[in-house]
Homo-oligomer: A and B are copies of this chain.
Amino acid sequence: MTADELPSWRETTAKQSVLEFVAAVTDRDSPDFVPERDRVAVFDNDGTLWTERPVYAQLLFALDRAAELGHPTSLEELHAGGMAALMKLLALTHAGITTDEFDAACRSWLASARHPRFGRSYPATVYQPMLELLGMLDRRGFSCWIFSGGGTDFMRTWAGDVYGLPPHRVIGSVGATEFQLGPDGPELVKTATIQVINDGPQKPASIHAHVGQRPILAAGNTDGDLAMLQWTAASPFRTLQLVVQHTDGEREYAYDRDPILGSGTQRIQAAATENGWTLIDMAADWSAVYPPYP
């Protein structure tokens, strides 16, 4: 008997399918053995590794920053204004600032912001069972990467500490940056030009650009993750697909639709059923949702 590496997972089929897959691909004597260099695992972030309800943390950061900059707006105005209002907010709060200044602004906001329902800092709204999974995969020679719709620069300010991942393995949507020789030396200035919206079919394209290998494990929760899971499933190696279902209105939230972009979950759940992917029912499969706090 070895120690339970997934103590916050109940003894259900979800846990068994994860353990069985990891054992098979890491066992040299198994027909499913995968060399370490090919053990690439990719994870969506919002709703897969951390809480995205009631509103994305990054959006709240943008609203707070807009107010600080003297241009307050509200979630209601954003909803009414649609994509144009969102782009305007992002241009105001995420552009015209050097990458170093943006990094400092994010860290400062994260240090004081608290989740409205749970009273936790946002980085403490990560899912404890997924932290355990990331840790186990790392110990078994996997390289874990995040491919999220969130902003790369925002995520990198906290994901390293929380998930134990180096910055190059945290990839999201990106705006163009411009190199300039500023008064304090060379700097990169964030611009309002969006280069990549890292969702849907863009996720496999980003994986190709940033990893250059097909993953053998992929985890997501909405239809925006479907292409990433399909791409992974087509690897010549044995693969595992995980679909997180938000079924726990008591400990987290119960919903089946992305809170802002509106991606549903119907297509990814149908694909899971059709292809025998692993569904994770938060209420049933996890004995704890969040890590201890504070």
A interface residues, Cβ below 8 angstroms from B: 37, 99, 152, 156, 166-168, 170, 174, 176-181, 185-186, 188, 195, 201-202, 204-205, 208-213, 227, 230-231, 233-234
Contacts and interface: CB of A to CB of B under 8 A. Distances in A.
Given A166-B37, A188-B204, A234-B185, A209 B152 contact: yes
Given A179-B227, A195-B195, A201-B178, A211 B37 contact: no
A152 B210 CA distance: 10
Given A179-B201, A204-B179, A231 B166 contact: no
A144 to B, nearest CB: 13
A167 to B, nearest CB: 3
Stoichiometry, as copies per complex, reads 2
Nearest to A40: B168
Nearest to A229: B186
A179 B176 CA distance: 22
B177 A212 contact: no
Contacts of A177: 205, 208-209
Contact of A208 (B37, B166, B188): B188
Given A166-B37, A168-B168, A204-B188, A179 B209 contact: no
Contacts of A209: 152, 174, 177
A174 B230 CA distance: 23
B230 A186 contact: yes
A231 B186 contact: yes
Contacts of A201: 178-180
A157 B41 CA distance: 22
Contacts of A181: 230
A212 B178 contact: no
A287 to B, nearest CB: 33
Nearest to A170: B212
A174 B196 CA distance: 13
Given A186-B227, A186-B234, A230-B186, A178 B166 contact: no
A152 to B, nearest CB: 7
A79 to B, nearest CB: 30
A85 to B, nearest CB: 26
Most chain B CB neighbours (cut-off 10 Å) among A185, A204, A211, A230: A204
